Amino acid sequence: MREFLEEKKVHGYRQQLAQYLKRFCERLHWIHSFFMDLGYQLGLSKDIKKEALKYVKIIQDLGESTFFRRSCGHLSSYFMGKLIVPYLRRDLGRVKINCYPT
């Protein structure tokens, strides 16, 4: 996605990548609020493409899996879709992770 935002040549399906980018930009305020809760001092500008590139770089620096683990439960849905949201439920004193789409 970073190469697509930087207008470099990308390998793969452009339409699918454009759909992911659109979904990412729609959830940019959620991502911004997550990083603000972590203590980052970030502002939002009117240039969505610039902001998306900034947050893609931050997520890559943090690590994608670390971002998903830490952001679990911050709000009810991730920017990439609801299928990857783990729902935690207590069952006989143990925590089970269930990945059921809603």
Whole-angstrom distance, CA of residue 23 vs CA of residue 77: 12
> Which residue is it, tokens 């299928």?
83
Whether the full predicted model's pTM is greater than 0.85, yes or no, is no
Report the b/e string of 14-24 with b at 16+ CB within 10 A. eeebeebbeeb
CB neighbours of 95 closer than 8 A, spacing ≥ 6?
88, 89
Q: How confident is the model over 56-88, as pLDDT tens digits?
A: 888 888 887 888 777 776 665 545 544 444 443
Residues facing residue 78 across a β-bridge: 81
* Extents of the domains making up the chain: 2-98
Residues facing residue 43 across a β-bridge: none
